[in-house]
A and B are shown apart, each in its own frame.
Chain A
Amino acid sequence: MELRLPDITENDELVTITLWFVKENERVSKDQDLVEVMTDKATFSVASPWDGLITKINRVAGEEVERDEVLAEIRENKDQRFTTDL
């Protein structure tokens, strides 16, 4: 599953990754804050929509990102089984 940058701006305002709260191969829970992004006057915490495992982080802190860009990939934990397999 793809974690995308939410639609937080109305124009071409720059959005920058401030910091990641998690690392690749880390298990995350639904609603857990994963990454903070910022515009000129706002910081915004992006939460995980799913329980799962962070398989890839596409952008690092300091990089600019665009609306709807994929920030990370998460293997969704639908049935709880894979967590015990790891």
Chain B
Amino acid sequence: MNIRDLGIVDYEKSLCFLEEMLTKRIRDEVSDTLILVQHRPVITFGRMADMNNIIDKTYFEQRQIPFSFTSRGGKITYHAPGQLVMYPIIDLKKKGRSVAFYIDFLEKVIVKSLNYIDVPATREDGRRGVYVTGKKIAFIGISLKKWVTYHGAAVNINNDTTAFSYINPCGEEGSRVISAAEYSGRKHDMRSVKKIFTEQFIEIFKNEYMCWREPVLHKTSEEDI
């Protein structure tokens, strides 16, 4: 697993890098890669989003926060520095698992990593994303091309979450949002956080994907008895 930390980058610029890595992975020119990045403030729309999910457009216009329309799944979200974004570029073709399984995998990585920094994150039945005390802390929106994943997940670590109150995050009206810093009452060291997320990603990836084998049906014959 390659790890690439891009630092704080404009959304559009990181999208170009993402698409370049996707193309290379499809051509098998690079191995599976986890890209870590923090974006400068931006609102992104997934394929299912519409402008009605913006509650107050002037809030973003006054702050010159751009809107970006993307090919990822999901609806609307907000990115800003202090939020950890993970873009795994993984070829799922030979790993024999579904898209839903992959989203479960991402949520498990986020839950375990946040638990590691004493943030009691959980998954909720019937709702995608990750939650802390009923408030959303992580957002999922992925795409697959030729069974290679791109886009990914965003986790509020130290970012100010005020902007989320001017949108319906993930299209959910009245959805409340939290960051790890708001829960803990202190900022977290991003370098340590990135290390923990990377380690958990690799460990859970090995458990969920590398140990998986096609089930073999063992026939019992008279000779076996």
Contacts and interface: CB of A to CB of B under 8 A. Distances in A.
B47 A8 contact: no
* Residue of A13, A18, A40 most packed against chain B (CB within 10 A): A40
Contacts of B144: 8, 42-45
A39 B145 contact: no
A41 B103 contact: yes
A67 to B, nearest CB: 10
* Residue of A9, A41, A43 most packed against chain B (CB within 10 A): A41
Contact of A41 (B71, B98, B140, B145): B140
B101 A10 contact: yes
B146 A42 contact: no
Query: What is the interface of chain B mostly: helix, strand, loop, or mixed?
Result: mixed
B48 A7 contact: no
A42 B73 contact: yes
Interface string B63-98: 000000001111000000000000000000000001
A8 B73 contact: no
B145 A45 contact: yes
A42 B106 CA distance: 13
Given A7-B98, A31-B146, A42 B103 contact: yes
Contacts of B48: 38, 40
A40 B98 contact: no
B128 A41 contact: yes
Interface size class of A (residues with CB under 8 A): 10 to 19
A10 B98 contact: yes
B99 A9 contact: yes
Given A31-B146, A33-B145, A38-B47, A43 B71 contact: yes
Interface in A1-42: 7-11, 13, 18, 31, 33, 36, 38-42
Contacts of A8: 98-100, 144
A40 B74 contact: yes
A40 B99 CA distance: 11
Interface of A: 7-11, 13, 18, 31, 33, 36, 38-45, 47
15 contacts: A8-B99, A8-B100, A9-B98, A9-B99, A10-B98, A11-B100, A18-B47, A36-B47, A40-B128, A41-B73, A42-B144, A43-B72, A43-B73, A45-B143, A45-B145
Interface of B: 46-48, 71-74, 98-101, 103, 128, 140-146
